[in-house]
Amino acid sequence: MCLRIADSNLPISASKVHKAVRAAWKLWSSVALMKFRKRSRKEADIVISFHNGDHEDGSPFDGKGGILAHAFLPGSGIGGDVHFDAEEDWSFNSTGFNLFAVAAHEFGHAIGLSHSSDPGAIMYPAYNFASNYEPQLSFRDVKDIQHLYGISPGFASLFSKNPPPRTPDKCDPDLSFDAVTELQQEVLFFKDRFMWRKHPQFEETGITLISSLWADIIPPFLDAVYENRERNVNVFFKGHQYWMLKRQKLEEGFPRNISDLGFPSRIKSIDAALHFRNDHYTVFFTGHECWKYVLCYNLPQFFPYYQTHLI
Ligand code: 01S
Ligand code: CA
Ligand code: ZN
Ligand code: ZN
């Protein structure tokens, strides 16, 4: 497949655009039987360009936010072409939209894929990546593209150590959770980059990315989470750090070290946490130990008080 980048109207440096495009096509060509070649002038199967607003293909862009890009399924003429909204705040990492991640999604369209209902897939229709997210194809994306083009010769050896991540399935009999918490009316079940949200008014317990709600706030692969409803906070643990969210907003100064809660430095992480609403205390499990954490309200500052016992 031939590919050309139109070099007019680029919102960021040409070298950054080329880097993002190269990284995006490598994702696909490393799993499926296809080769990309860059062309500078003549006809190309995939022409990549940036546009503002109406650019006369019947699908005008909408300024900042909303639609980020679109692509045409393979075919003659405009078929296979990829258009990015030039008015977005594009970047390669850090702030704004990650051009690499969106290009990977658009290339999926350009080579024949539609949107996926799997929230872990790069072909999922919503952009919800953390800014430090390193885009990669999910198991679903890989299956879908290999179904169309066949498997790349290097696939087995390239991915044997590090297979594409699967989105967990709530019906999997071997499923385990990283953490479970209440969040106002809902119950949240965490697993890897994902969470299921059980709402009393909804039949279906839907799965989403943690980053769809808390991108750049709460990391994936959590250890423990609890809710303290009197104080309206949720507390998230991962490794030696913890994050406190009040009404879904990160409290100032977080993440902090769990030693700030009063744990001795030999405690490196928490396995589970549970808050007892009626008796106003929290219990932490770590290794074979169980810690009870009580806040004494009659003191001017919160004062942690511990009891340890083996369970
Ligand atoms: N383009 O491929 C899209 O999916 C469009 C919406 C279509 C209806 C044109 C789009 O810009 N979707 C947003 C998006 O983030 C929500 N797409 C890129 C992605 O990485 N999922
Ligand atoms: Ca837009
Ligand atoms: Zn267009
Ligand atoms: Zn799309």
pLDDT digits (tens, 9 = 90+) for 51-72: 999 999 999 999 999 999 999 9
pLDDT of 296: 54
- Cα Dmax for the chain: 77
What's the mean pLDDT when you consider all of the chain?
A: 90
Q: Indicate if ligand 1 lies below 6 Å from the C-beta of 212.
A: no
pLDDT reading at 107 higher than 60: yes
CB of 71 within 6 A of ligand 1: the answer is: yes
pLDDT in tens, 120-134: 999 999 987 777 788
For ligand 2, the distance from its centroid to the CA atom of residue 85, given in whole angstroms, is: 5
Entry pTM: 0.89
CA of 75 from ligand 3 middle (Å) equals: 15
pLDDT in tens, 195-225: 999 999 998 899 999 999 998 899 999 999 9
Three-state DSSP class for residue 21: helix
Share of the chain above pLDDT 70, in %: 94
Q: Where do the domains of the chain lie, and which CATH numbers do they carry? A: 2-159 (3.40.390.10), 179-310 (2.110.10.10)
Query: Is 106 one of the catalytic residues?
Result: yes
Q: Whose CA is nearest to atom 9 of ligand 1?
A: 70
Sheet holding 304-310, edge to edge: 272-276, 281-286, 289-295, 304-310
* Cβ atoms 296, 247 nearer than 8 A: no
